[in-house]
């Protein structure tokens, strides 16, 4: 089976969040299953140096038709890093990408989009098919991700190609719809007969995500729970009707974690490695003392993190962390609320430290900065994007706080568990599918979950986490061990995607 992925982010070449991580690992996992030859097409952004990742410039350029226009694009060819069968990556080179420092907007203004994003990503969507044509890839399946590449599925069906692939669309975040005017949609080649509610039209505008939703044979989203939630007004953001109409064509498949990059026993960013790689046959023989000893490196990582972010080095002070886009989706207002309102209680009286790494809305950044100035020995805030520090934070912290308003899947809670950093999450979307609430009596669970989206609920979960930290040591070690052993590797999910591809091919053949 030939599978062509089209996406606006592919880690480690480009990434603003989970989408990039998924495109960096799912294609490899698919190739490893041995059932598919996988190719990825994305864009060469200005911030990306193709040579650094071993990409070679192709001499040929491609002519890409888009509505009445034609664009000439260059190409870089490279490979996804990692083990297993190779996955070829093509990066589209055009000034619309290469002359911009950011992926979606100015790098220091996450909430601001480039106004011509619909054009930029329509070009990527159409160019991906031109690549398939030029290199005779003959994809059986074109798999597009989020609104940016939704149009590729429309073009695959109505773009006059000499091949007819089956199509799959994955929703990584329904909040971003790719809105533009209907006139713009026309300029991007969307025919008038597809500019209605059963096409791209959305309340008088065009929502390019609908090109993906309506013209895909199969639609997936990144967790089973989110697949149910987006059929409701609370989480559907106006598209719940569309989601309901998809019926059985919409499936939730949990994202996997790339444990080659996210495991504390082989993480090159850490001062000390810790934990033990899972070895099923010897797992029962592993006594608590051996397991406990294997965590010694985590204590060094904690001390190093405290030093790095300028907090007092205190081994027995619980260290909380958040790594996140600083946006309302991520419940940053709850975290700030917790820190501000409970300042006297949490930051003032309770012995606790908190590290926050993130960037995003300026108001959130401002409030966090002020809080950090008020509580310099308790709260360290790093504004910006820092891959290395994100790994060291996962390793050094005791708890990872993720109180999302909605969460399609979420990866950081999954990474956290592998690092023995217990997640404190709101039970929503993929967080509910991945974190099992701790029950002290039955000694079960992998983290701490709360339900209501408010500060008291978050505060309650934090207090339960702190009680567990200061309580029975063996119980806490068991909790950490269950979290570290929870397995969210890609194998199972990759097989689920292969099934969806087979169904999509059948659907496409059935016409
Ligand atoms: P989302 O895709 O909604 O942003 P996820 O939890 O699915 O959330 O994925 C977030 C990814 O982005 C994780 O790999 C996380 O470590 C990373 N990340 C987010 N913000 C930063 C940051 N400021 N520095 C480094 N990595 C970050």
3-state secondary structure 391-409: HHHHHHCCEEEECCCCCCC
CA 454 to ligand 1 centroid distance, Å: 22
404-455 tens-digit pLDDT: 999 999 999 999 999 999 999 999 999 999 999 999 999 999 999 999 999 9
C-alpha span between 41 and 234 (Å, rounded): 33
In this model, does residue 117 exceed pLDDT 60?
yes
Among 18, 25, 382, the mutation site with the greatest number of ligand 1 atoms within 8 A of its Cβ is 18
HSE-up of 120 (CA within 13 Å, CB side)? 25
Residue with CA nearest ligand 1 atom 11: 17
Encoded tokens for 461: 């979960």
Determine the residue of 111, 324, 361 to mutate for testing ligand 1's pocket, defined as the one with the most ligand atoms within 8 A of the Cβ atom: 324
- Which of the listed residues 226, 412, 425 should we mutate to test ligand 1's pocket, taking the one with most ligand atoms within 8 A of CB? 412
Q: Is 412 in the pocket of ligand 1 (CB under 6 A)?
A: yes
Residue 308 Cβ contacting ligand 1 at under 6 Å: no
Decide whether any atom of ligand 1 lies within 6 Å of the 429 Cβ: no
> 277-281, 396-400, 402-406, 466-470: lowest mean pLDDT where?
277-281
How many Å apart are CA 357 and CA 325, to the nearest integer?
A: 9
pLDDT of residue 351: 86
Q: What is the pLDDT of residue 286?
A: 83
Tokens 């990066």 found at: 91
Least confidently predicted of 116-125, 217-226, 273-282, 409-418: 273-282
- pLDDT over 90 at 134, yes or no: yes
Strand order through the sheet with 399-402: 379-383, 353-360, 319-326, 399-402, 422-426, 448-450
In the reported structure, the alpha carbon of residue 365 is separated from the centroid of ligand 1 by a whole-number distance in angstroms of: 16
Per-residue pLDDT band for 278 (boundaries 50, 70, 90) equals confident
Eight-state DSSP code of residue 452 = S
Q: Does the beta carbon of 24 sit less than 6 angstroms from any atom of ligand 1?
A: no
Q: What is the overall mean pLDDT for the chain?
A: 95
- Closest atom of ligand 1 to 358 CA is 23
Identify the three-state secondary structure at position 439: strand
Distance 72 CA to ligand 1 centre (A): 33
Is the CB of 387 inside a 6 Å radius of any atom of ligand 1? yes
- If pLDDT is split at 50, 70 and 90, which confidence band does 479 have? very high
Q: Write the pLDDT tens digit of every residue in 218-231.
A: 999 999 999 999 99
* Residue 138: pLDDT over 60: yes
User: For residue 382, which atom of ligand 1 is closest to its CA?
Assistant: 23
- Residues with Cβ within 8 Å of 286's Cβ and at least 6 positions away in sequence, in order, are 276
Give the model's pLDDT for residue 350. Answer: 77
Report whether 367 contacts 332 (CB < 8 A). Answer: no
Return the residue whose CA atom lies nearest to atom 19 of ligand 1.
324
What pLDDT is attached to residue 342? 59
Residue of 7, 14, 17, 428 to test ligand 1 pocket, by largest number of atoms within 8 Å of CB? 17
343 or 254, which is more confident: 254
Q: Ligand 1 within 6 A of 21 CB?
A: yes
pLDDT of residue 288: 86
298-308 exposure pattern, b = at least 16 Cβ within 10 A, e = fewer: bebbbbbbbeb
By most ligand atoms within 8 Å of CB, the mutation choice from 411, 429, 434, 435 for ligand 1 is 411
Q: Which residues pair with 500 in a beta bridge?
A: none
Contact of 96 with 8, CB cutoff 8 Å: no
Which ligand 1 atom sits nearest the alpha carbon of residue 409?
7
Q: Which residue out of 222, 323, 360, 430 has the highest number of ligand 1 atoms within 8 Å of its CB and is therefore the one to mutate?
A: 323
Query: Of residues 289 and 410, which shows the higher confidence score?
Result: 410
Look at 171-185, 227-241, 268-282 and tell me which has the smallest mean pLDDT. 268-282
Q: Label the pairing between strands 69-79 and 62-66.
A: antiparallel
Q: What's the pLDDT band for 281 if we cut at 50, 70, 90?
A: low
Q: How far is the CA of 21 from the centre of ligand 1 (A)?
A: 9
pLDDT in tens, 28-86: 999 999 988 999 999 999 999 999 999 999 988 999 999 999 999 999 999 999 888 99
**Which of 418, 428, 398 lies closest to 482, judged by CA?**
418
The total of other beta-carbon atoms located within 10 Å of residue 493's CB is: 22
Ligand 1: distance of its center to the CA of 267 in Å? 17
Banded model confidence at residue 139, pLDDT cuts 50, 70, 90: very high
Return the exposure string of 238-270: e unless at least 16 CB atoms fall within 10 Å of the residue's CB, then b: ebbebbeebeebbbbbbbbbbbebbbbbebeeb
Q: What pLDDT score does 348 carry? A: 60
User: How large is the average pLDDT for residues 312-337?
Assistant: 96
Which atom of ligand 1 is least distant from the CA of 387?
Answer: 25
In this prediction, residues 460-487 reach a mean pLDDT of 95
Q: Is 421 in the pocket of ligand 1 (CB under 6 A)?
A: no
- Ligand 1 atom closest to the CA of 325, numbered from 1: 20
Higher local confidence (pLDDT), 205 or 159: 205
Task: Report the atom number in ligand 1 closest to the C-alpha of 173.
Answer: 3
Question: 337-365, pLDDT tens digit by residue?
Answer: 998 875 555 656 678 999 999 999 999 99
């Amino acid at each position: 089976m030939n599978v062509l992925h089209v996406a606006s982010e592919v880690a480690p070449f480009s990434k603003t969040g989970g989408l990039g991580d998924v495109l960096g690992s799912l294609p490899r996992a698919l190739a490893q299953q041995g059932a598919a030859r996988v190719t990825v097409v994305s864009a060469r952004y200005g911030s990306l140096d193709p040579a650094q990742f071993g990409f070679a410039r192709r001499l040929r350029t491609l002519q890409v038709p888009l509505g009445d226009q034609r664009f000439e694009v260059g190409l870089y060819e490279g490979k996804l890093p990692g083990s297993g069968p190779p996955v070829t990556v093509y990066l589209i080179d055009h000034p619309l990408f290469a002359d911009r420092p950011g992926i979606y907007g100015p790098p220091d203004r996450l909430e601001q989009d480039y106004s011509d994003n619909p054009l930029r990503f329509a070009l990527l969507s159409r160019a991906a098919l031109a690549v398939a044509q030029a290199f005779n890839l003959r994809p059986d399946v074109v798999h597009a991700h989020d609104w940016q590449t939704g149009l590729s599925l429309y073009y695959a069906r109505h773009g006059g190609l000499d091949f007819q692939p089956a199509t799959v669309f994955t929703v990584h975040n329904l909040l971003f719809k790719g809105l533009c005017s209907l006139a713009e949609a026309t300029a991007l080649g969307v025919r008038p007969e597809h500019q209605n509610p059963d096409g791209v039209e959305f309340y008088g505008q065009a929502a390019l995500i609908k090109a993906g939703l309506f013209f895909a044979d199969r639609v997936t989203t990144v967790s089973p729970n989110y697949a149910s939630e987006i059929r409701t007004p609370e989480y559907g953001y106006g598209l719940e009707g569309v989601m309901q109409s998809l019926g059985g064509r919409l499936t939730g498949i949990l994202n996997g974690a790339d444990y080659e990059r996210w495991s504390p026993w082989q993480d090159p960013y850490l001062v000390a490695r810790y934990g033990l790689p899972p070895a099923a046959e010897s797992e029962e023989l592993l006594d608590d003392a051996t397991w406990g000893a294997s965590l010694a490196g985590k204590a060094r990582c904690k001390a190093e993190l405290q030093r790095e972010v300028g907090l007092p080095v205190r081994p027995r002070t619980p260290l909380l962390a958040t790594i996140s886009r600083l946006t309302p989706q991520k419940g940053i207002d709850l975290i700030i609320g917790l820190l501000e309102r409970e300042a006297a209680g949490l930051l003032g009286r309770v012995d606790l430290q908190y590290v926050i790494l993130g960037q995003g809305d300026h108001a959130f950044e401002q409030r966090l900065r002020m809080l950090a100035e008020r509580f310099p020995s308790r709260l360290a805030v790093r504004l910006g994007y820092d891959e290395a520090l994100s790994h060291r934070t996962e390793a050094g912290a005791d708890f990872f706080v993720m109180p999302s308003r909605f969460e399609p899947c979420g990866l950081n809670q999954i990474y956290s568990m592998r690092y023995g950093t217990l997640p404190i999450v709101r039970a929503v979307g993929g967080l509910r599918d991945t974190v099992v609430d701790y029950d002290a009596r039955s000694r079960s669970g992998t983290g701490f979950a709360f339900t209501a989206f408010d500060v008291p609920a978050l505060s309650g979960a934090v207090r339960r986490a702190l009680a567990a930290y200061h309580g029975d040591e063996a119980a806490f070690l068991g909790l950490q061990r269950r979290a570290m052993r929870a397995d969210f590797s890609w194998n199972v999910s990759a097989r689920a995607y292969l099934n969806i591809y087979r169904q999509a091919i059948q659907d496409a053949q059935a016409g």
